[in-house]
Amino acid sequence: MSGPGLRLGSRTSAAQSVPQSLSRTKEPADKDRQYAATLANGIDILLAFDSGDAMLGNRDFAERTGLSKTTVARLTHTLTALGYLRHDTALRKYRLGAAVLSMGYPLLASMHLRQLARPMMKALADRLCGAVSLGIRDRTQMIYVETARSTDSLIVTPEIGAALPMLTTAIGRAWLCRAPANERDAVLNQLRLQDPKAFAYAQPRLADARRDLERQGYCSNRAEWRPEVYGFAVPMCQPVGSQLFVLNCGVPVGQGSFGAIEKQAGPQLRALMLDIERMLGLR
């Protein structure tokens, strides 16, 4: 396997990525008296940004969240005052503020698994001429909390915090195959409600992923999510700190046929997860 692919922009297409705010169900607002709808709406404003969005205006927020323009105006004003948004007065648009980054740092810093796995992930990424990432679930998507890549000239250059869909990626399918039944079923129900057609299309592929995990110890993606990358993923044998971590590997299709890449990537990714589990005392 050799030779880097062409760099691809970070923004995904509308078919590949649903605005994150849409993955939060509105049901708690109706059923839970302790549910703070205003707080939830403010969080939805922050989650409206996609990886390719440098700035958004109030109209963009209203369209992506379904909130009224008046509500959006109040929320963006407050979030700007608190440092979570920065207002460009000339363009009348908003950027994410530094407070968003500082809010997420304690979570990442507390995940000691990241520091433990990082050098081994980098070594595997170099061997496969690809990228190896560690992810957890965030509502109905997967989020990278650590990533290592062989070179910056890869087709896809994953970053910490990048969100991936559950149904069409190896990492998402691996999580669905290993997650506790009650948690998995709740996520599947949300995915079904979000997009019934996509859910129906994904059902047989989820069944295939379960069989693959049982037989081979990993799940795969034959460039279904992004045509430039083959994906492989291995879930941890059990949750750690209430989080089920999943190792993911992406290799450019230009490195060879799927079968040839799978023979290298799948077993080595599984072996890496076994090593991590032993170091954590899970095996």
| Cβ atoms of residues 251 and 154 within 8 Å | no
CATH topology of domain 36-103: Arc Repressor Mutant, subunit A (1.10.10)
What's the whole-number average pLDDT of the chain? 87
| Eight-class DSSP state of 12 | P
Distance of CA 226 to the CA centre of its chain: 14
Q: How confident is the model at residue 105 (pLDDT cuts 50, 70, 90)?
A: confident
CA pair distance 209, 222, nearest whole angstrom? 12
* Strands across the sheet containing 219-221: 163-165, 141-149, 131-138, 246-252, 229-235, 219-221
pLDDT, one tens digit per residue, over 218-270 is 999 999 999 999 999 999 999 998 899 999 999 999 999 999 999 999 999 99
Q: Is the pLDDT of residue 17 over 60?
A: no
Residue 7, pLDDT score: 31
| Cβ atoms of residues 166 and 173 within 8 Å | yes
**E-strand stretches of 160-204:** 163-165
Residue 53, pLDDT score: 86
Q: What are phi and psi of 235, to 5 degrees?
A: -80, 150
Residue 181, pLDDT score: 94
Give the percent of the chain with pLDDT over 90. Answer: 71
Residue 258, pLDDT score: 96
CA pair distance 53, 132, nearest whole angstrom? 25
How many Cα atoms occupy the beta-carbon half-sphere of 130 within 13 Å?
Answer: 26
Residue 4, pLDDT score: 33
DSSP lists the bridge partners of residue 247 as: 134, 234
Residue 155, pLDDT score: 65
Residue 112, pLDDT score: 86
Contacts 24+ apart (CB under 8 A), 239-243: 239/180, 240/113, 240/280, 240/282, 241/111, 243/136, 243/137
Domain residue ranges of the chain, discontinuous segments joined by +: 36-103, 111-279
| Cβ atoms of residues 145 and 136 within 8 Å | yes
Mean pLDDT of 147-152: 86
Q: Is the pLDDT of residue 12 over 50?
A: no
DSSP lists the bridge partners of residue 248 as: 133, 233
Mean pLDDT of 89-102: 91
Pick the more confident residue, 111 or 80: 80
Given 3.30.450.40, 3.90.180.10, 1.10.357.10, 3.50.50.60, which CATH number is that of 111-279?
A: 3.30.450.40
Residue 89, pLDDT score: 92
